Structure 1
Amino acid sequence: MTTPKKRKIASECRKFQTRWENEYFFMEVRGKCVCLICNESVAVLKEYNVRRHYETKHQTYMSYTGVEREQKVKQMTASLLAQQQYFSRAKKTQENATIASYEVAQLIAQHGKAFSDGEFVKQCFTKVAGIMYPEKSQEFDSVSLSRNTVVQRIASFEVAQLIAQHGKAFSDGEFIKQCLTKVAGIMCPEKSQEFDSVSLSRNTVVRRIEDLSANIKHQLADKTCVFDFYSIACDESTDATGTAQLLIFLRGVDNNFCITEELLDLTSLNTTTTGKDIFEAASNAIDKIGLKWDKLCGVTMDGAPAMTGQCKGMASMVCTKVQESGGEALKMHCIIHQEALCAKTVQLNDVMNTVVKTVNIIRVQAHYHREFQAFLTDIDAEYGDLLYHSEVCWLSHGSVLRRFYSLRSEINQFLKEKDRPLHELSDPLWLADLAFLVDLTEHLNTLNKNLQGKDQLIPQLHAHMKAFCVKLRLFEAQLHTFNVAHFPTPSEIRSAFPKVDLSGKKGKYVSVITSLLTEFSQRFQDFSTIENDIKLFVTPFMINAEKVEESLQLELIEMQCDYSLKNQHQLLSLPDFYRSLEEAKFPLMRRHTKRMMSLFGSTYICEQTFSLMMLIKSRLRTKITNDHLCVILCILTTKLIPDLPAILQAKAQLHCSH
């Protein structure tokens, strides 16, 4: 018996009939018959199936007839097409974004740029797209790059600002333009010519950055006119070419208790760096911007003799000039620098010398170093290498010791294999000293990190320092009975060598803590001098009125007896609280607060800026002029926003490269 052949739908040549749109509300989408009402599709292009779907599920639509029915079909068809185009556009946008990402990645590789420059490039073309075509900016932002004349000029300024903020070379403008042109050619090819008109040549970028810096300086000059008090922080260091650079930062407070902290100047000291040279540079910077000397209330510097000298030091000369102008200024030694000097007094040189010597043995010889790294990788050690010790790095001691302690077993095994055993690593008494030093330097590093950071006021820094002194007294008392509750690393050694009595070390450890506490007590005299002023600023309702200046006593008593002010002090931040005080009733208290808020407690902002300077003026970029270095740092460190419309208005020409 012959088996009947199965019907093949494909062979029946069934096609969609145009009349089905009006009769059954169906349309053809990519070879499928789709219902305009419910968006369901019919599996087989057969009128019977289409009619059955319509009559069983959408009988209510039979009421539409004539012109009304035709309009309904057109409306529903347009709606379905709009939905499909939305998803197809989204898919196309994502495809373009991926292609653009590959194109820019290729340019990054071709120009030998760091992988992390992708994010910088993305910021640039997102800025440009946001200015030239705001409606397209979201599509530009979707490009993944992780690790008209006036408009074009603004776009050029924005990119120049980003170049300065990231410390990039001026010539990187052309690289950015290539990236922009590539991305625009893919994302919106019809607009690529207009993107190409954005001028980003080296000379244009230089002019843009100079204009941006000049505008920031102009804004700063306007702000200084309303300062009630200000202070400066100064530090000097050498750049990659050996030129001495003096950084001067300014912190000012206005009548509304708003703080402005900006770079005042970067001055190159091409000959000598005496106190007089530094003073003249600082004096010129202050006079140039139009600040009044009688409003200068503090100068903060590091411990260099040229800065701190009693007679010929820069700080003394500044204070003398302020006094001659009718004001009074405080000399402040950077609190972080003083803490670092205290940390150097920890007398466990036998431990530190052994650690540094061992690290040098392993790292100085290239083949030893490679073998040690391979050894650590093979045994899956916690770390992949040892750290070099640096005297000038604030946190180096603690980091080197912690890494050495964590890898002590691996170091011991490696050196034994090289027939250069380190016997100290088998001595529990030496290991106990190492463990104690590890924990002590970590306590010091924690303090150092707390003292770092921008915008910290004197009371915050003073509180960290006072708290550490209290901790040292606690450590001293506990170590008398060999209580190592706050020194967990020696406890590990005690557990590893239970038969060894380590309590004999307590005298040595107590002596180290006592010496450190004495050093902390002797230093920070500049902070101790103004301790009552700090208490008055932070806790005006808790300080005894007899302990403050006589000129402030009556206002302080008036304040302390006002319960509503006491409640406000608990609810508001310090600037907000003093801002709320009546100026006519508490003028001297408000004046005292402005002085305290304007003081720099450290030169951290200078140290941070020097780090940025070394990245900008590196050994590969030594020809950058001192003026250009200054304008870049001005843009890089500022919190002010350049006024681009004002810059454009000041320009006589509207050519895109001027």
Structure 2
Amino acid sequence: MKQVPSNPKLVMDEAVKIINFIKSRPLQSRLFSLLCEDCGSKHKILLLHTEVRWLSRGKPLTRLFELKAELQMFLSDTSFNLKDRSYDKTWLFRLSFMADIFQKLNELNLSLQGKQTTVFQACNKITAFKRKLNFWIICVSKREIESFTLLSEFVSDNDLDNVFEQLVQHLTSMRACFEKYFPEEENTKLKLNSWIHNPFLPTLQKPESMSNEIYESLLEMSSDTSMESLFKTTSLNDYWCRIHDEYPILAKMALNILFTFPTTYLCETGFSTYAATKTKYRNRLDADLI
């Protein structure tokens, strides 16, 4: 999503300028908040976009789109050069799509986070999203956009047919980027090690890279009902750690793959914890709360 096509990129840049026009001026921000309160709006403030946290841009775009009526009233008496954007149906059409697609990317990003997330789970999420992209391309080309909430609501109230092709191009370019960063070859490699994810499958096949001796050990373990009970009651990482003494070679092979960082979540968590020590909270007397 950092490589956004020209038209959606222009909408994104102009949306950020509109938000900054209001949020960067305290008086403007307070007046806009009062206007939203008088109108009984669901939200009373806009959200700032942070370029460093580029995945967060879905929320500011969604908030901007949901407050488009209030934005029209607020900007009508100003000399702001982008005030007409809130009346431009094509611009709002693209904005609603950008808000929806970034929201879906945010959901994907959140699903990949967690201390117990394995490379198998991350691969499954990425594969599912690529399949969704293929499905969305077909749906948008047929004008079936129920998967995009804001876009669907906007199109139901406005007759726009000449810009759907741009959405198809955008989704197609996004699919190409996903294929570039997450090639199918990597998914195939993980499938060859599917015994790690579930060694108790009844159709367990011998991996090509595994010797006969190790495979016999795998068959022995997969036939042990006590091991199967342990597998069902513990996490994947804990299971292979706990059987290390009894099946050291199998456990080592499994842990070499499982201990690979599927995302940067743990690194960023550690950095955030370290950064928190630089704040005022480090001065609290109760060390147990730190």
2:17 aligns with 357
How far the C-alpha of 1:569 sits from its partner, in A, is: 8.0
Does the 8 Å CA contact 2:16/2:49 hold for their aligned counterparts? yes
**SS of structure 2 residue aligned to 1:464:** helix
1:537 aligns with 196
2:145 aligns with 484
Distance of 1:580 and 1:390 partners within structure 2: 43
Please give the residue correspondences for 1:283-432 in structure 2 after superposition, counting only pairs within 5 Å. Answer: 343-347=1-5, 348-420=8-80, 422-432=83-93
Q: Which amino acid aligns with 1:456?
A: T
Distance of 1:561 and 1:454 partners within structure 2: 27
**SS of structure 2 residue aligned to 1:550:** coil
Distance of 2:169 and 2:65 partners within structure 1: 23
Does the 8 Å CA contact 1:479/1:509 hold for their aligned counterparts? yes
Distance of 1:543 and 1:601 partners within structure 2: 27
Q: Which amino acid aligns with 1:429?
A: T
Of Structure 1 and Structure 2, the greater strand share is in 1
- Residue 611 (structure 1) aligned with residue 272 (structure 2): yes
Distance change (3 Å), C-alpha of 1:477 and 1:610: same
Distance of 1:532 and 1:419 partners within structure 2: 59
1:523 aligns with 181
State percent identity of aligned pairs. Answer: 25
Distance change (3 Å), C-alpha of 1:487 and 1:542: farther
**SS of structure 1 residue aligned to 2:117:** coil
Distance of 2:91 and 2:202 partners within structure 1: 48
Does the 8 Å CA contact 2:206/2:215 hold for their aligned counterparts? no
1:591 aligns with 252
Distance of 1:561 and 1:363 partners within structure 2: 60
Does the 8 Å CA contact 2:43/2:67 hold for their aligned counterparts? yes
Provide structure 2 residue ranges, at least 5 long, that are not aligned to the other structure: none
RMSD: 3.4
Provide structure 1 residue ranges, at least 5 long, that are not aligned to the other structure: 1-342, 625-631, 637-658
Distance change (3 Å), C-alpha of 1:470 and 1:555: farther
1:194 aligns with none
CA radius of gyration, larger in: 1
Larger CA deviation: 373-382 vs 510-519: 373-382
**SS of structure 1 residue aligned to 2:211:** helix
Distance of 1:509 and 1:535 partners within structure 2: 36
Aligned with 2:134 (options 467, 473, 491): 473
Distance of 2:9 and 2:69 partners within structure 1: 22
How far the C-alpha of 1:598 sits from its partner, in A, is: 2.6
TM-superposition CA deviations, 1:582-619 (whole Å, max 9, x none) = 966x543222122233332222233233333333324x
Distance of 1:608 and 1:475 partners within structure 2: 33
Does the 8 Å CA contact 2:230/2:239 hold for their aligned counterparts? yes
Does the 8 Å CA contact 1:473/1:517 hold for their aligned counterparts? yes
How far the C-alpha of 1:454 sits from its partner, in A, is: 2.4
TM-superposition CA deviations, 1:296-324 (whole Å, max 9, x none) = xxxxxxxxxxxxxxxxxxxxxxxxxxxxx
Q: Which amino acid aligns with 2:136?
A: F
Q: Which amino acid aligns with 2:47?
A: L
1:512 aligns with 170
TM-superposition CA deviations, 1:67-102 (whole Å, max 9, x none) = xxxxxxxxxxxxxxxxxxxxxxxxxxxxxxxxxxxx
How many corresponding residue pairs?
A: 279
Distance change (3 Å), C-alpha of 1:564 and 1:544: closer
TM-superposition CA deviations, 1:368-394 (whole Å, max 9, x none) = 222222222232322121111111114
How far the C-alpha of 1:532 sits from its partner, in A, is: 3.4
Please give the residue correspondences for 1:195-274 in structure 2 after superposition, counting only pairs within 5 Å. Answer: none
Does the 8 Å CA contact 2:195/2:204 hold for their aligned counterparts? no
TM-superposition CA deviations, 1:491-530 (whole Å, max 9, x none) = 1112222xx2x33333211211111111111114695485
Does the 8 Å CA contact 1:398/1:441 hold for their aligned counterparts? yes
